[in-house]
């Protein structure tokens, strides 16, 4: 098999949580589909997922929309059963769903309610998704899990970026993403000998609607001189999903324009 052939995902079934959403999800789903995978996008809105799957099918891709609430254990088990019944297996799991409740901001503004919502979706839900799908992958001796983390799981917020804007540096988000990266390492060690690879991607600053003071300061500090676009994450996801990365597990790939290098 040639090097380029190892990037192909023909015959693989891939699931992307929040895979029809504007925050990377739709780009990730389309990239996996373009690489040849049968893709499933799932979130709370079945209508949105089915509509996006239909859009991808109109382009010639094999895409399907399903429903899941990652804050609900029964919903996750229902998704697992539906995937297994319809496709027989899952080869690639991309955990990209993220809950952003009110109060997810500076520490002085955090509420107990916002903490509980975050913990249920972004911590408990993440772990339950892995619990639901990883054992089946391990039983088959093959699979790839990709967790979408953040540069704020690696470094702290730079408060200077937020000056002269209504934006505020979050405190809960770095906590969750840092935990996701270390959980990725632990799962990689746990499942490695059973053929399941677990990696994470830490995207850099991404906000199409970011006010100019923020976007300008970010771009000036970033070695590549700009904020991230949807397309920037696609190659990294395909690489980690494919056999091109067959000896890569427990890694966190920073796709950040060099932000964490300085």
**Residue 14, SS3 per DSSP:** strand
Per-residue pLDDT band for 1 (boundaries 50, 70, 90) equals confident
Task: Give the mean pLDDT of the chain.
Answer: 94
**Residue 99, SS3 per DSSP:** coil
| For range 221-237, the mean pLDDT | 96
Phi, psi of 168 (to 5 degrees): -135, 140
Does some domain include residue 70? yes
Per-residue pLDDT band for 103 (boundaries 50, 70, 90) equals very low
Does some domain include residue 158? yes
Give 181-201 pLDDT, tens digit per residue. 999 999 999 999 999 999 999
Does some domain include residue 167? yes
Active site (annotated) includes residue 173: yes
Predicted TM-score (pTM) of the model is: 0.96
Per-residue pLDDT band for 101 (boundaries 50, 70, 90) equals low
Does some domain include residue 259? no
Give 15-43 pLDDT, tens digit per residue. 999 999 888 899 999 999 999 999 999 99
Q: Which of 52, 152, 162, 173 is catalytic?
A: 173
Q: Choose from 3-7, 103-107, 120-124 the range with maximum mean pLDDT.
A: 3-7
In which region does residue 219 sit, left (phi positive, over 0), alpha (psi from -120 to 50) or beta (all else)?
alpha
Does some domain include residue 75? yes
CATH number at residue 33: 3.40.50.720
Calculate Rg over the CA atoms of the chain: 18
Does some domain include residue 177? yes
Q: How many CB atoms within 10 Å of residue 149?
A: 26
Containing domain of residue 163, as a range?
Answer: 4-252
3-state helix, strand, coil in the chain (%, to 5): 50, 15, 35
Question: What gap in Å lies between CA 62 and CA 103, rounded to an integer?
Answer: 39
- DSSP string of 203-262? E----TT--HHHHHHHHHHSTTSS---GGGGHHHHHHHHSGGGTT--S-EEEESTTGGG-
Report CA 160 to chain centroid distance, whole Å. 27
Does some domain include residue 137? yes
Per-residue pLDDT band for 100 (boundaries 50, 70, 90) equals low
Does some domain include residue 134? yes
Number of domains in the chain: 1
């Amino acid at each position: 098999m040639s090097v380029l052939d190892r990037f192909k995902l023909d015959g693989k079934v891939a699931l992307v949580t929040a895979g029809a959403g504007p925050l990377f999800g739709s780009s990730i789903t389309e990239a996996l589909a373009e690489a040849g995978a049968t893709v499933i996008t799932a979130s709370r809105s079945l209508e949105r997922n089915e509509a996006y799957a239909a859009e991808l099918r109109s382009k010639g891709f094999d895409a399907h929309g399903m429903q899941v609430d990652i804050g609900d254990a029964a919903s996750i088990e229902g998704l697992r059963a539906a995937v297994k019944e319809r496709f027989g297996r899952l080869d690639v799991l991309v955990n990209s769903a993220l809950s952003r409740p009110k109060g997810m901001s500076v520490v002085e503004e955090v509420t107990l309610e916002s903490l509980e919502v975050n913990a249920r979706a972004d911590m408990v839900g993440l772990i339950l998704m892995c619990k639901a799908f990883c054992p089946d992958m391990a039983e088959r001796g093959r699979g790839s899990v990709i967790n979408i983390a953040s540069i704020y799981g690696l470094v702290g917020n730079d408060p200077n970026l937020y000056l002269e804007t209504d934006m505020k540096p979050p405190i809960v988000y770095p906590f969750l993403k840092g935990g996701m990266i270390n959980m990725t390492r632990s799962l990689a060690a746990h499942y490695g000998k059973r053929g399941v690879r677990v990696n994470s991607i830490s995207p850099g600053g991404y906000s199409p609607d970011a006010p100019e003071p923020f976007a300008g300061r970010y771009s000036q500090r970033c070695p590549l001189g700009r904020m991230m676009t949807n397309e920037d994450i696609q190659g990294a996801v395909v690489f980690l999903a494919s056999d091109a990365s067959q000896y890569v597990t427990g890694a966190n790939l920073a796709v950040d324009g060099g932000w964490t290098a300085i």
